[in-house]
Structure 1
């Protein structure tokens, strides 16, 4: 009799913990998606101007930010009327007050320092278009595509007002990851650290952790009932089997 009581108590406790796991899992899973929808925007990149970092057809996740938060090395989504007034994706290589030019020994220079751009394949930097040294106006950004030879970026608009730069207010978001194909988080830009601070990644990893943990808890909690029932039936059958006498 006491064995039956303990079994019933264990079953009730297991069911309670299972329900708690499912409830917590739902909160994490749905909360993670809601958090992601608030913080991030998806974009499909139409060209190879950011190749090989991002290629045509890639689906990226960009964190909604204010233009004042942009730092050198960031890959941003922006809209500039004179560039076609459509969402564009480029890399920020210089900010207001910087002197930028290309190329010295095949490398971009910012404030007289050569920048080792790890995101550009070896040999491609030598193909970069020449940029006369200009000073970026305050509150504006100088933008280049990672595919330097064919990208329509600030170098294609040097004759416009403000030397082809874009206002910080034109920035809509900062790209954190390539969601499809699942290439994951963009590598943090190297080469700009000596010039000033670089941006930290957004909360995408935490969001994904919440979603995955929530899914595991929902599946695990939901599976408890059927598994516990099957184990109980097996134990019941074992107790009911007659014991042979030797």
Structure 2
């Protein structure tokens, strides 16, 4: 309480002067609470990082993986040409839990040991750079392994593929394929290859950029007759995720005109198959949910 010149008492200014004992205790409590929260977060951070790493590994192994397109063998469907922005695609592994790749699918696969790499990739010589490269490949910002390829399925096990008919088209079991995606085909006089019957469990694959793709045609003389194993398929290229101006789904046309005789499209999943990715997402979110719940309960108890 103070007086002005007229002798009248002036209003007391709240908070003016030293804090009361209760205020000081409250400030100490808030400061200690903040320190406890920071210490708790530092203790839990390694666990959170480990959980994130394990979830990334599970998703990469079983569900989806991003891939960097390093070459132009799939132009214009996928950009990977020198001097342009290479596409990053999301490869879906779920469809091949329930069936094999179908003609028209764009697949990423590990090539046979008889295939010559389309790109040169310098593999790291120590664990740290190896881990960084693994992480980059997981999110699709680093070049894939030299053994990884992306092509389109043309024929499957038991089918006979050949080129060409009178119009220069590839045929499967004597029927010409409908291939609207072909870019810069090879000259007609150099396009032909002899009939190859694809063994069961294997695939005949070709690039959309026919004049720039070292695919099954280039390896027809190896012990696999140019085919690749279904078991070596990593997944189905489903979505261009980068660059943004090319964001969109990838088409898998019915190049053999078999859809009319099929009961359902090849990439249609059963109800159980559709539910599996959702279930996996719920399982993956469980550790994070538990952690948030523990923090909420701890804050409530502190109050």
Distance 2:268 2:108 in 1: 15
Pairwise mapping of residues 21-60 of structure 1 onto structure 2 (< 5 A)? 39-56=63-80, 57-60=86-89
| Secondary structure of the structure 2 residue equivalent to 1:175 | strand
Distance 1:124 1:154 in 2: 15
Pairwise mapping of residues 93-242 of structure 1 onto structure 2 (< 5 A)? 93-104=154-165, 105-121=167-183, 124=185, 129-182=191-244, 183=246, 184-194=248-258, 199-200=266-267
Pairwise mapping of residues 67-82 of structure 1 onto structure 2 (< 5 A)? 68-80=99-111, 81-82=113-114
Cα deviation digits, residues 41-86 of structure 1 (max 9, x gap):
0000110000110010110000114485211111111112222461
In structure 2, relative to structure 1, the CA distance for the partners of 1:99 and 1:142 (3 Å cut) is same
Distance 1:49 1:129 in 2: 16
| Secondary structure of the structure 1 residue equivalent to 2:224 | helix
Distance 2:253 2:193 in 1: 21
Deviates more, 1:178-187 or 1:139-148: 178-187
Q: Are the aligned partners of 1:119 and 1:189 in contact in 2 as well (CA < 8 Å)?
A: no
Distance 2:202 2:110 in 1: 13
**Match in the other structure for 1:87:** 148
- Larger Rg computed on CA atoms: 2
| Secondary structure of the structure 2 residue equivalent to 1:149 | helix
| Secondary structure of the structure 2 residue equivalent to 1:155 | helix
Q: Are the aligned partners of 2:168 and 2:191 in contact in 1 as well (CA < 8 Å)?
A: no
Query: How large is the Cα RMSD of the aligned pairs?
Result: 3.1
Structure with greater proportional strand content: 1
Structure 1 residue 193: Cα displacement: 2.6
Q: Are the aligned partners of 1:74 and 1:199 in contact in 2 as well (CA < 8 Å)?
A: no
- Paired residues, number: 174
| Secondary structure of the structure 2 residue equivalent to 1:193 | coil
Structure 1 residue 125: Cα displacement: 6.8
- Report the TM-score, using the length of structure 2 for normalisation: 0.51
Structure 1 residue 162: Cα displacement: 2.3
Structure 1 residue 126: Cα displacement: 5.5
